[in-house]
Structure 1
Amino acid sequence: MAENRILSHMLAGIVRDYGEPVMIWQAGTLLGTLLVAWLFARLARRMLDSRRRARHEAVRFGAESLHKALFPLLGGVLVWSVQTVLDDYMSTSLLELALVPLIGIASIYIVFFIARRSFARSGQAHAWLSISEKLVSVLVWAGMVVTVLGIQDEVLRWMASVRFRVGTAHMTLLSLTTGLVWVCATVIFALWLGSVYEDRVMRAHSIDANLKVVLSRLGRALLLLAAVLVSFSLVGIDITVLGVFGGALGVGLGFGLQKVASNYVSGFIILIDRSLRIGDTINVSGLQGQVTEIRTRYTTVRGLDGIETLIPNEKLITDVVQNHSSYLTRGYAKAAVQIAYTSDLDRAMALLVEAAQGVERVLPDPAPAAYLVGFGSDGISLELGFWIEEAAKGTAGTRSTVNRNIWRLFNENGISIPYARRDVHLIGGLPAALGGAVEIGPDRAAAVASAPRVEPPCEPGTPFARDASAGA
């Protein structure tokens, strides 16, 4: 009885037509149709390849599955069309059987394409994505086997007979499975639409970079919310219960998730007011680096040492942030130096200007300029001012090169950099200055006694005399 029930579907037609001339006609028609489908699929692949070369890696990653789906999909459409036309003239059991694997395999690769376009944004497959693809493959192949055997009605009746309760709701295995399928399908479809929408927005040239990020994330969030609401309605869940959930979520945000909510709100504020852009070099709380990514919860900053730091967006709103890339990419730098009073001042200033010329990243306009800052106790203070291109990348290396050029040019042209000089004046004789703390021999004492006394340059008791005495 069970064997007759199984053979009463597709397999019965194959057994009936086996060995008949109509089977040869069906086989020839099937092969010809698949050949035409293969040619169309090859042409479609070439057209898609010419369009995807300029696309980012994630699109190319998903297009591989789409290419694999083209042949079975086109083959299924053509076989179904031919089977519909020939059904009134001859038996089409072989064509009907061929439709099952063609449509099933095409469905598998289409699901792969949508999933990869939705989740593999960086061009890399996540671990769970591979597991889900294997699960989809198993389910689709099981469905194809059930369809070929013709026992899908019995399987559906058995699933509907398995009943259980979830809270106060009575559910069956069929309703639960159907609900999960609808939820997954709508969510994945919404994520795929969000991915396509984000790709379109990010490729727009007339929209600011920060506004692109805001629009893409808002669009994906709204599409995902709509998908969840639609899937709940299809399953039969009353969406008014989300009002209670929304109230509880608001209370949770008010007490336990203040920082998280603040970071998300701050992220949207940063993206909307465009105070920071990707590529800007900023300094916040002593950390200097380049903004590489602005997320809704945090901002990624790559430091000058190459280490990436995640900074909460709230910190970028409440703390002082120095943006080195806001308006000017150039920066002003100085090099200070002293020369001896006996040096040629004009020559020294000309050498300072020459030291900055030809140095990498030093701008010729405005030209480097030397200034006389003042007259110090040890020498004449000079200063060289110059502008550095792309100062956000750092100025230490450029200033070091300029200082080395100054040192070389001064040495070559006899410009001396003075040492610190201190004059010490002794009040009274040497023994009086030492206060008897040091004993000297008779010969040295006689020499000191016979030496003429040196008068102090200032009156005893003045601050200078006291300082010199203390220093002695």
Structure 2
Amino acid sequence: MQQQPFSLEAFIAWGLELPLQAWKWLTVGSGAMQAAVVLGVVLLGWLLALPLKQAVRARFPGGMEGDLPLPRLARTLVRALPAMVSALLAAAAREGLKLSGYGGVLLDSVLTLLVVSSVIILGSSIIRSRFWRRCFATLAVIAATLHVLGILGPVMQVLDSVGFDLGGTRVTLLVLAKAALLLLIFFRLGGMASIFVERRLEGVSELTPSTRVLLSKTARISFYVLATLLALNSVGIDLTALTVFSGAIGVGVGFGLRNVFANLISGLILLMDKSIKPGDVIEIGGVYGWITELRGRFVSVVTRDGKEYLIPNEDLITSQVVNWSFSDSNVRLKVPVGVSYGTDIKRALKLMEQAVQGLPRVLLSPAPVALFLEFGDSSLNLELRVWIKDPQNGVANITSAINVAILDVFRAEGIQIPFPQRDVHIISE
């Protein structure tokens, strides 16, 4: 049959006639009955969803706000209940129409739209990224549109015909699309499961902070590996076929991501040997602060002035690190003091020890000790050694308080702290 050439007049006439044909179909025969059924299904679904929403909200007396998985899933379920209930009613009505001998073209289309709407709403609680959420919604709408138009099957056949052989497995565009979708879903479910495990581990007081971090990171990695295997296995990809590329991929990853994997392995080593843990006070490369969090690639260190340094794990393995609270939180401070040559040394040493005994952060056991170190150029050099047990609260501030206390006592007792002196001899010609 010869194809008719495109005619703008015929296209305009078809566009004008289409609403009239649709109205005629909706107002006569089975079309009118299907339209009434659709309207009743949507209205009844909305009414039946109201008590179900109240039942879900009753399970959360404190409200469903927050970013935890269960409240977020409950909020999503409340939004999806009208579409889900309407979809169930539409499916039942369609089967009833089929048993009565009536077609259900309109009802089929509405059922497809309701199912897609429910899937999109439920997917919003699993897919957190706005970009991937929009991609998922767009693909769902396209699939629903193709199904309503009756061409979803042919399109899937075309996608299934384009591919390549990987070992003994046929990998097509349709298989890759299914694998990507399942991988996204399983990854999100794995992330939610790992968050649940982390929060449960936080409530176990018998575990040390480093052990909790190690267990949570191990659980997260295990969930992600399991999600990948499940996604590939669900679409029929033989996992043994992937060994064909494992060598080349391993070499490429080894060269391209060497530093990344070095930091990951270093992080696991730090967690296992417990040399660095959250709450420790460390000093590395001129950075002094306490560790707030251990990540897979770096360690977060917050200083006294509020700066947060992200130090790679590899640096903590290969560099010299001063851990002020590794095995014992008690730290000894050394405060140098100089007095004039005419000072009674024994009395000055005793006054220095007594001056700091009233400071709240200075420990009385071990007791403060003052020592006479050497004869300086302009002074007798003394040193006061004190112990503190909270280096995370700062070292410079307690050193300043010690200096102020010693200065007040020396001034009250008439002990002079000399300044450098130089004798200049002028020889005339």
Q: TM-score surpassing 0.5?
A: yes
Is contact 1:388–1:395 with CA below 8 Å preserved after alignment?
no
Distance 1:358 1:35, change over 3 A: farther
Match of 1:76 among 74, 78, 87: 87
Match of 1:16 among 25, 29, 47: 29
Is contact 1:370–1:382 with CA below 8 Å preserved after alignment?
no
| Map of 2:127 onto structure 1 | 115
For residue 214 of structure 1, report the CA deviation from its aligned partner.
3.5
Equivalent residue letter for 1:243: T
| Map of 2:47 onto structure 1 | 35
For 1:240, what is the secondary structure of its paired residue? helix
* 1:254-290 superposed Cα distances (whole Å, 9 cap, x missing partner): 6665544433322222222322112322223444333
Partners of 2:322 and 2:258 in 1: CA distance: 26
| Map of 1:454 onto structure 2 | none
Is contact 1:366–1:386 with CA below 8 Å preserved after alignment?
no
Partners of 1:268 and 1:414 in 2: CA distance: 58
Distance 1:255 1:226, change over 3 A: same
For residue 332 of structure 1, report the CA deviation from its aligned partner.
1.8
Distance 1:226 1:162, change over 3 A: closer
| Map of 2:266 onto structure 1 | 266
Question: Normalising to structure 2: TM-score of the pair?
Answer: 0.73
For 1:320, what is the secondary structure of its paired residue? coil
Tell me, which stretches of 5 or more residues in structure 1 are unaligned? 4-10, 117-128, 170-174, 425-432, 440-472
Map 1:370-389; keep pairs closer than 5 Å. 370-373=369-372, 376=375, 382-389=382-389
Tell me, which stretches of 5 or more residues in structure 2 are unaligned? 1-13, 16-23
Which has the higher Rg, Structure 1 or Structure 2? Answer: 1
Partners of 1:410 and 1:57 in 2: CA distance: 59
Map 1:216-235; keep pairs closer than 5 Å. 216-235=216-235
For 1:416, what is the secondary structure of its paired residue? coil
Distance 1:358 1:80, change over 3 A: farther
Task: Indicate the larger mover: 249-258 or 103-112.
Answer: 249-258
For residue 113 of structure 1, report the CA deviation from its aligned partner.
1.2
Match of 2:192 among 160, 183, 196: 196
Distance 1:371 1:67, change over 3 A: same
Alignment root-mean-square deviation, CA: 4.3
| Map of 1:447 onto structure 2 | none
* 1:386-417 superposed Cα distances (whole Å, 9 cap, x missing partner): 23342244312221222123223322332233
* 1:314-366 superposed Cα distances (whole Å, 9 cap, x missing partner): 3322333221222333422233334456556676455434532444x523533
Is contact 2:264–2:296 with CA below 8 Å preserved after alignment?
yes
Is contact 1:213–1:271 with CA below 8 Å preserved after alignment?
yes
For 2:282, what is the secondary structure of its paired residue? strand
Map 1:50-199; keep pairs closer than 5 Å. 50=62, 56=67, 64-77=75-88, 80=91, 98-116=110-128, 129-147=129-147, 149=148, 151-152=149-150, 154-161=151-158, 166=163, 176-199=172-195
Equivalent residue letter for 1:241: A
For 1:327, what is the secondary structure of its paired residue? coil
Equivalent residue letter for 1:47: R
Partners of 1:15 and 1:289 in 2: CA distance: 79
Question: Normalising to structure 1: TM-score of the pair?
Answer: 0.68
Distance 1:177 1:156, change over 3 A: farther
Equivalent residue letter for 1:290: W
For residue 79 of structure 1, report the CA deviation from its aligned partner.
5.3
Number of positions where the alignment pairs a residue of Structure 1 with one of Structure 2:
398
Task: Indicate the larger mover: 56-65 or 323-332.
Answer: 56-65
| Map of 1:443 onto structure 2 | none
| Map of 1:463 onto structure 2 | none
Distance 1:29 1:320, change over 3 A: closer
Is contact 1:368–1:384 with CA below 8 Å preserved after alignment?
no
Partners of 1:44 and 1:255 in 2: CA distance: 52
Equivalent residue letter for 1:333: L
For residue 179 of structure 1, report the CA deviation from its aligned partner.
1.6
Partners of 1:339 and 1:297 in 2: CA distance: 50
| Map of 1:246 onto structure 2 | 246
Is contact 2:281–2:391 with CA below 8 Å preserved after alignment?
no
Equivalent residue letter for 2:49: A
Task: Indicate the larger mover: 336-345 or 275-284.
Answer: 336-345
Is contact 2:281–2:291 with CA below 8 Å preserved after alignment?
yes
Partners of 1:136 and 1:88 in 2: CA distance: 35
For 2:279, what is the secondary structure of its paired residue? coil
* 1:88-115 superposed Cα distances (whole Å, 9 cap, x missing partner): 6897968766533332211001112111
Is contact 1:37–1:78 with CA below 8 Å preserved after alignment?
no
Distance 1:382 1:114, change over 3 A: same
Residue 377 (structure 2) pairs with residue 365 (structure 1): no
